[in-house]
Amino acid sequence: MANRPIKITETALRDAHQSLLATRMRQADMLPIARKMNEVGYHSVEMWGGATFDSAMRFLDEDPWERISALKQEMPDTPFQMLLRGQNIVGYRHYPDDLVEKFITCSIKRGIQVFRIFDALNDVRNMAYAMEVVKREGGHVQGTICYTISPVHTIDGFVELAKELARLGSDSICIKDMAGLLNPYAGYELVSKMKKAINLPIQVHSHYTSGLASAAYIKCVEAGADIIDTAISPVSLGTSQPPTETLVSIFQGTEWDTGLNLGLLAEVASYFSEIRKNYAKFESGFVGVDINVLRYQIPGGMLSNLVSQLREQNASDRYEEVLAEMPRVRAELGYPPLVTPSSQFVGTQSTLNVLLGERYKMIPQEIKNYIKGMYGRPPAPIDPKVQKLAIGDEQPIDCRPADLLEPGFEKAKEELGDLGRSDEDVVSYALFPPVAKAFFEKRAKGELHPELAIPKPQAAAPAAAPAVAAPAAAPAPRRVYSYSMWKLSGRVKK
């Protein structure tokens, strides 16, 4: 029956709460269900990277590195997957190669196995080094294409990109549709052509925002996609992924039957439907389907950011205007795919253009840097008028941005001094200096209280919460095999 079972990556522990709950899910709310999730037989669980890293230190009093070990203990059989922003690592700017390398070796020691590596501009120069290090260290390299729609993006262009990523040593390819723009028929064509061009597993990642994602997954699977990203139902839909159980049901009894047990998934679901209530105050309020993402090609996360930004400025009534400004700014900035950090650039500049009443009256430094080429090569040239306004007669760089950066690890180690207890601490500090420093200072004083970071509604305050013990050293390195994608599944293929 199921001669080509579709594999499932569960996103509840990373993308789902990043998309729906402002990345606030605490480790303490993940651990009680982790053992059950381990039984499911997911292809992998995405549980780290993206915004979770700084969010853990910034808002939750948690050490992001510890989260990997804590979860791994409960989920020994489930491959762990992370989202790595190439040369941006898990931050919002470019970092030198030595930090990329250190970050990856530390992650692998803790138990990350699959690295989904992307660059916001699809500039492979910004991904190549991370791919090389993951490969060398025995991790799984998932080369990633940020899918977007624009006059300069074509199916054939994405296929060429996939071929390039394959040449650079990808073990699989991800089509990352961060905005939920992937039309089912476009997805069919893209996956079909990609499968003809490269002999690698293809994983599809989409968001439900526009309502297309479940249908897109079906057509992509029909075209030969091997793995899909879903979220357990209580943290699915809206700006998150399509529901795991629904997709499992869709393929039941077909050649693509996932083999996952719906009863087990129902238990996982009932846990998360309770847990979501703990984060009510971080809900964006966006539910259902927003077709504006198709009209303006804006990821769901950006929409909710925009709403709250405008609300803070008492400018909620300018929402439609800002939305309409975004495609213009995006075109002028060379049609970057809208994903961190380019989505922030387009969103911020559009908001400034509307609220200040004059376009490009003010251009933030990050956007000037982007125009200078400090984030890589945009898909199309920057509008010359905008370039002139931003950087005058200065010429943008055309080398790989990280080539201009001095090594950062030793310098960070020196700066951090006694506050740092491990290489991981140094990496955390190098990536997010003020956030990490504040975190380590609290830790040194025994003032980290992750259990209080987000008080449960109606729960009585715990009496004299104990200070968190100093984090244990990283466990002995787990042996990470350089397996093929198929062995990653954790289930025996018949």
Gyration radius from the chain CA atoms: 22
CB of 299 to Co ion, least distance (A): 8
CB closer to Co ion out of 180 and 420 = 180
- The answer to whether 338 touches 179, Cβ cutoff 8 Å, is yes
CB closer to Co ion out of 178 and 468 = 178
- When CB distances to Co ion are compared, the closest residue is 15
- The answer to whether 198 touches 224, Cβ cutoff 8 Å, is no
CB of 192 to Co ion, least distance (A): 23
CB closer to Co ion out of 8 and 178 = 178
CB closer to Co ion out of 207 and 377 = 207
CB of 13 to Co ion, least distance (A): 13
* Residue 294 identity: L
CB closer to Co ion out of 178 and 204 = 178
Bridge partners, residue 83, by sequence? 49, 116
Give exposure, 376-408, as e/b (b: 16+ Cβ within 10 Å): bbbbbebbeebbebbbeeeebeeebbbeebeeb
Q: Collapse the DSSP code of 372 into the 3-class scheme (helix H, G, I; strand E, B; otherwise coil) and give the result.
A: coil
Per 3-state DSSP, the chain is made up of helix, strand and coil in percentages (nearest 5) of 50, 10, 40
CB of 18 to Co ion, least distance (A): 8
CB closer to Co ion out of 15 and 62 = 15
Q: What is the DSSP letter of 13?
A: I
Measure CA of the first residue to CA of the last residue in the chain; give whole Å: 10
Bridge pairing between strands 44-49 and 202-206 = unpaired
CB of 270 to Co ion, least distance (A): 24
CB of 301 to Co ion, least distance (A): 8
Cα separation of 68 and 57, whole Å? Answer: 14
CB closer to Co ion out of 159 and 178 = 178
CB of 207 to Co ion, least distance (A): 6
Q: Measure CA 194 to chain center.
A: 23
Site residues for Co ion per CB under 5 A:
15, 178
Cα separation of 296 and 325, whole Å? Answer: 9
CB of 430 to Co ion, least distance (A): 25
- Least Cα distance to 142 among 54, 256, 226 occurs for 226
CB closer to Co ion out of 89 and 99 = 89
CB of 118 to Co ion, least distance (A): 10
Cα separation of 228 and 154, whole Å? Answer: 22
* Residue 231 identity: A
CA dihedral over 254, 257, 259, 260, signed as positive or negative: negative
**Two tokens, residue 345:** 């650039």
